[in-house]
Amino acid sequence: MAGAWVAGAVIPGPRAPAPEPQFVERWSWVMGQAVHVMVYAESEDAGLEACARALAELRRVEDRLSLFADASDLCELNRHAGRSPMRVSPDVRDILQTAETVRAQTQGAFNAAVEPLMRAWGFRQPRRSVPTDAEIAAAREAVIAAVFQVDGDMVALPNAHTRLDMGGIGVGYGIDRAIALLRGCGIRRAFIDIGGDCYGLGAPPDEPDGWLVEIAGEHKMVRLRNAALATSANAQSVIRLGQRVVGHVMNPATGHPADGYRQASVIAGTATAADAFSTAALVAGPALNALPPSLRLASVTPFLH
């Protein structure tokens, strides 16, 4: 028995120092973007296993929400528009309910039903010219008329023209699911970055204030501790229509691509909220007055016309 005897009692010997947490990182590709996962774990093997599970969770969410995989739950739900209700996975149900909440909070600046506008502007099938006023009006009407009804795990899209696109919220949702999985693995310090949308779990051992992150294109640094940062931009993912270059984030109110601001960044307690509200902020700019108290508008950059 370790220790020393004193007056019939055992005085424990000095404790062995706790092992230093092992830093492990993995890079991959998911949701059409580069992903970087970093964790501090009790061992390298545990860290590699945690990273692998986080990446697998991101791909699982992608399989549910992708518009580019015909077998995804979202594609199947879009095909059910105007038909009987469809049974969906918990992921689809949860993200639909969150999307509807954010749509109401932002007075429609964020809208998950913008897919008809994405199609009209040529983001799904190439076109050479700007859509006509009639095409834009028809697509905008489909967006305005879109509703989804959630009853348990059953979802209905009553309007046959409704098409959903989770591109403005899905990456954040995937990050949150992966972070929840890491927590379940016992990881208390981690960072996930997907194309500039990121979440900092805990803080690195030598940086108690959180993970230091630079907002892309802004040369501005922020700290994330149990918080997320998301940036929406309309200077990337662009297409050319004749002499005009347009971005992929749509303004549901006008039916046109949002063109007042180059990018917007939001800090929130969840990546889902940061993702969705950064999309809304890009559309509405500083005029967006619906940010809940738990969210912070980190930056809004106008286009220089």
The pLDDT tens digits of the residues spanning 228-277 come to 999 999 877 788 898 888 899 999 999 999 988 889 999 999 999 999 99
pTM of the model: 0.90
In a domain, 217, yes or no: yes
DSSP state, residue 120: H
Q: How are the residues of the chain apportioned to helix, strand and coil, as percentages rounded to the nearest 5?
A: 30, 30, 40
How many domains would you assign to the chain? 1
In a domain, 270, yes or no: yes
Q: Position 167: which residue type?
A: G
Domain that holds residue 156: 22-305
pLDDT value of position 51: 98
In a domain, 164, yes or no: yes
Buried/exposed 222-232: b ≥16 CB within 10 Å, e otherwise: bbbeebbbbbb
Pairing of strands 197-201, 9-11: unpaired
Q: How many CB atoms lie within 10 A of CB 59?
A: 17
In a domain, 14, yes or no: no
**pLDDT tens digit sequence for 139-151:** 999 999 999 999 9
CATH number of the domain enclosing 97: 3.10.520.10
Q: Are 266 and 277 in contact (CB under 8 A)?
A: yes
In a domain, 12, yes or no: no
